[in-house]
């Protein structure tokens, strides 16, 4: 699709809320995602991982792995979303997110020596999820708003 002045929607930005359902959904998604991520990552996760390992250093390693995975996946995911469509990338991210939830729940429920490994794997998958989802969501959001 060619992008230029002829493809821009001339309607005022005030109509964004009425015209585009994706904008509302994106704001709701961001609010809920970052609210829950803030509660989990900041308030609970640090204490939980410290209790599992008795070493604060492992908390940094796991959080670092999550961030590195997100950074490494974001650029290829943006390219794939532009090349093959946002829906394909969003569906892939949804599958990764569901896997991350199952690994995280398994890690918390199944007490034992594999608990840290399961929770760490879940956090790495969350990094992959956000790396896949965010570029496609940002592009979809940009396509749903007016220029100007």
Phi, psi at 2, each rounded to 5°: -80, 140
Spatial contact of 78 and 132, defined as CB atoms under 8 Å apart: no
pLDDT value of residue 70:
93
pLDDT at 14 over 80: no
Which position has the higher pLDDT, 144 or 134? 134
pLDDT value of residue 94:
92
Six token digits for residue 143: 């396509």
Q: How far apart are CA 123 and CA 116, in angstroms?
A: 11
- In tens, the pLDDT along 71-83 reads 999 999 989 988 8
pLDDT value of residue 129:
94
pLDDT value of residue 69:
93
Of 48, 133, 46, nearest to 97 by C-alpha is 133
pLDDT value of residue 4:
46
- The confidence band for 142, taking pLDDT boundaries of 50, 70 and 90, is confident
- When pLDDT is averaged across residues 53-78 and rounded to a whole number, the result is 89
Spatial contact of 135 and 81, defined as CB atoms under 8 Å apart: yes
**Which residues are CB-contacts of 140 (< 8 A; sequence separation ≥ 6)?**
22, 26, 86, 90
Question: CA triplet 60, 118, 86: central angle to 5 degrees?
Answer: 85
pLDDT value of residue 144:
75
Which position has the higher pLDDT, 39 or 130? 130
**Residues composing the chain:** 148
Could you tell me the residue ranges of all domains in the chain?
16-143
Q: How far apart are CA 26 and CA 69, in angstroms?
A: 23
**Which residues are CB-contacts of 1 (< 8 A; sequence separation ≥ 6)?**
7
- When pLDDT is averaged across residues 114-125 and rounded to a whole number, the result is 90
Q: What is the pTM of this model?
A: 0.78
pLDDT value of residue 148:
55
């Amino acid at each position: 699709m060619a992008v230029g002045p002829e493809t821009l929607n001339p309607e005022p930005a005030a109509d964004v809320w009425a015209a585009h359902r994706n904008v509302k959904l994106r704001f709701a998604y961001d609010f809920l995602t970052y609210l829950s991520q803030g509660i989990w990552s900041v308030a609970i996760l640090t204490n939980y991982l410290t209790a599992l390992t008795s070493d604060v250093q492992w908390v940094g390693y796991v959080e670092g792995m999550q961030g590195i995975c997100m950074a490494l996946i974001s650029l290829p995911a943006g390219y794939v979303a532009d090349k093959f469509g946002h829906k394909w990338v969003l569906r892939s991210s949804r599958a990764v997110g569901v896997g991350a939830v199952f690994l995280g729940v398994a890690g918390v429920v199944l007490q034992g020596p594999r608990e840290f490994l399961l929770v760490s794997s879940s956090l790495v998958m969350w990094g992959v999820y956000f790396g896949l989802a965010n570029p496609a969501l940002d592009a979809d959001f940009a396509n749903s708003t007016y220029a100007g």
